[in-house]
Amino acid sequence: MNLASLGLTSEQERVYRYFLRAPHSDPEDAAAELGIRHVPAVLDRLRTLGIVDSELSSVPPRVAVDLLIRRRMEQTSRELNQLSAAWDIVRDLTEEQRTGRPVELVERIEGVANVNRRIQEISSSSKEIMNTKNQARNFFHDDERVARFRRRLSAGLAARTLVSEECLSDPEQLAYAREQHALGDLHRMTTGPNRKLVLLDRSVAFVQIDPADPLAGALMIRQPGVVATLVDGFEMMWARGRDLNEPPLTAVERQVLQALALYDKDEIAARAVNISLRKFRMHVAELMSRLGAGNRFQAALLAKDRGWI
């Protein structure tokens, strides 16, 4: 069986296998033996994928296949979402037939009360909700609305929420986020402030009109291309988010990750961070475990992907 089904070209697979058998080989030797003139370009791509490290050694097969499967699953998920979004045209055509006028794909809704009412109307039949916000529990908290939402969670609603890490420094906000998370509205933290965004069934999006004024209102967007782009953005932020119980990075840990990305040798990286080699390697081992990385090169890639460095 080859790795084509996981997204590698024939040349990429041959180069990966070569450096699996003969790690640290000279790329020119590999080019001559494999008959592939552009081995350096192929290696650059394999490094980007995380399956060849900076020292020209292929990562273990289990790690490589796991990375490729994850990447392939993400790509397949995006493709399925695009196909699913295509069914939205049926609803739009039906609405046009019923009303006798064109459906507005972008609608301006004034006032937070009107926005909340429209979200409630549409989300009452939604099967998936994704949203980003800067507070777990906002100023317009409605206990009855929260109770209805929790009943829907218990009935199988899929919900995910990204919330600002800064807000969760408030014990009450953190407690509420953890409570919601336990009930099924999965929460993750982002390192910076969030633009308010609500996505319903990957087909309707609500975006604040004025990022600085949550009371101004929102745009309701049903244009498939725009909504798909917003969904992709949410998924990227979700992948970079931290779990509620995950401890924040210390200043030293951030320096260690930056050194991992800059230097090939542990000795040089440890001197740059101004800590002992033993201490540096201890931090690297802990960070690799948190990131689920198979090697230091992959750890640096995953840390960048999560926005840690």
Per-position pLDDT tens, the chain of length 309? 678 888 899 999 999 999 999 999 999 999 999 999 899 989 988 988 899 988 899 999 988 998 888 888 877 776 766 666 556 666 667 767 777 776 678 888 888 888 888 888 888 888 899 999 888 877 555 677 788 888 888 888 899 999 988 888 888 888 888 888 888 899 998 877 788 899 999 999 999 988 778 788 899 998 888 999 999 999 988 887 888 877 667 778 888 888 887 887 888 888 888 888 888 888 888 888 877 777 877 887 777 766 677
The pLDDT value recorded for residue 293 is 79
The residue length of the chain stands at 309
The pLDDT value recorded for residue 145 is 79
Instruction: Provide the angle, in degrees to the nearest 10, between the axes of the packed helices 39-49 and 10-21.
Output: 80
The pLDDT value recorded for residue 265 is 84
The pLDDT value recorded for residue 198 is 94
Joined together, the tokens standing for residue 13 give: 């697979």
The pLDDT value recorded for residue 82 is 60
The pLDDT value recorded for residue 95 is 67
The pLDDT value recorded for residue 130 is 95
The pLDDT value recorded for residue 283 is 85
The pLDDT value recorded for residue 88 is 60
